[in-house]
Amino acid sequence: MQRIAQPFLTVSANVLVIVGLGALFKRDGTSLSNLRSVSGLVTVFGTSIILFGSLLVTTAGLDEIMSYVLGLLAQAIGLVLTLPGLVGWGAGYLRADNMRLGIALAGAPLLTCAYLGVSLLGVQFTPIADLLLITPTSAMALVVGYDLWADSASSSAAHHQSKS
């Protein structure tokens, strides 16, 4: 079960995050400032590298140590790109008065890093509290998805009214 379900769920979750962030970048790409545009591109690229690393780590067998190490290295590189990219992209949305997206994009990595920082300081969490590690990213994905859905619903309603 763990050998099949965990890789599938991990890769699927990463793919959905990439699709959401890519769709957000595509939708807002023409109206983004240069800094937000670069931050968005770096974020989507870094998230893609994390996906590749996750795929390598979760599918590596017991005798495939190089694949596992390469996957961890790819994930580390992806995180180095993605975290500042998300914060920069989110800050751009905050400056453009889009509070929902700004808080979601900038807040998710900051909360995750805060949780990891507290963990590294020696604070022990129960296994169920470790779900807090994925909660900010899950919330960010939900906010991005909702924003894309709400925008497409209002666009199709406006398009439908213009045809009438």
pLDDT 10s digits, 103-126: 999 998 888 888 888 888 888 777
Locate 19 and state its tokens: 């699709």
| Type of residue numbered 129 | A
pLDDT per residue as tens digits for the range 129-154 = 767 777 888 889 899 999 999 877 66
- Separation of alpha carbons 118 and 5, rounded Å: 30
CA contacts within 13 A on the Cβ side of 115: 17
Alpha helices for the chain (secondary structure H): 2-28, 34-59, 65-95, 99-120, 135-163
Exposure string for 82-91, b = 16+ CB within 10 A, e = fewer: bbebbbbbbb
CA distances for 85 relative to 82, 97, 109, 131, 160, angstroms: 5, 18, 10, 23, 36
- Note every long-range contact of 26-29, with CB atoms under 8 Å and residues 24 or more positions apart, other chains counting: 27/148, 27/151
Phi–psi pair at 64, nearest 5 degrees: -110, 60
Write down the domain spans for the chain: 1-156
pLDDT higher than 70, residue 2: no
Residues 111, 140 contacting (CB under 8 angstroms)? no
Residue 159 in this model has a pLDDT that exceeds 50: no
Q: State both tokens at 21.
A: 């962030």
Residue range 69-76: mean pLDDT, rounded: 92
pLDDT bracket for residue 3 (50, 70, 90): low
- Between 65-95 and 99-120, two packed helices, what is the crossing angle to 10 degrees? 140
- C-alpha 20/C-alpha 13 separation (Å) is 11
Q: Which residue has the tokens 């400032």?
A: 33
pTM: 0.79
